Amino acid sequence: MTAKLWDVQTRKELFTFHHRTPVRFAQFAHGDRMILSVTDQVMGQPGSILLYKLAPSLEDQSLEDYCSPVQVITASGNRPKILQAHWCPLNTQIVTANEDGTVRLYDPEVYYPP
């Protein structure tokens, strides 16, 4: 129920993003200033896409401004499970692939203004 940020050269864990349900997928935005994560629809919680800002300096990642996610969309009610979400070019949209074969587009600025 976490997504982790690693320095792949040193193999050092830099930060842990905690979630309420298991994380299915994560991806960096173009420019590496934001991350999205997709969580599973389990334990009475809806599946969600969460956006996180990345701190300019990794030492600051633990500050409140960079730890609190913004929930973009939830898969609840009759919405299908979100399997993956990807940033479109220039981070203008997020496209989701859903369990029922549908594809949806979302505008991240509606949920998390720059």
Please state the pTM of the whole predicted model.
0.80
Instruction: Specify the pLDDT at position 95.
Output: 93
CB atoms under 10 Å from CB of 46, counted, come to 19
At position 26, the amino acid (one-letter code) is A
Q: Which element (helix H / strand E) includes 110?
A: helix 108-111
Instruction: Specify the pLDDT at position 36.
Output: 92
CATH topology of domain 2-111: Methylamine Dehydrogenase; Chain H (2.130.10)
Instruction: Specify the pLDDT at position 75.
Output: 65
Instruction: Specify the pLDDT at position 76.
Output: 61
pLDDT digits (tens, 9 = 90+) for 21-62: 899 999 999 988 889 999 988 877 878 888 888 888 777 777
Separation between Cα atoms, residue 34 and residue 79, nearest integer Å: 25
Average pLDDT of the segment spanning 104-111: 82
> Band of the pLDDT at 108, cuts 50, 70, 90?
confident
Q: At which residue do the structure tokens 């720059």 appear?
A: 114
Separation between Cα atoms, residue 23 and residue 41, nearest integer Å: 10
Instruction: Specify the pLDDT at position 71.
Output: 59
- Within 13 A of 52's CA, how many CA atoms are on the CB side? 27
Instruction: Specify the pLDDT at position 25.
Output: 92
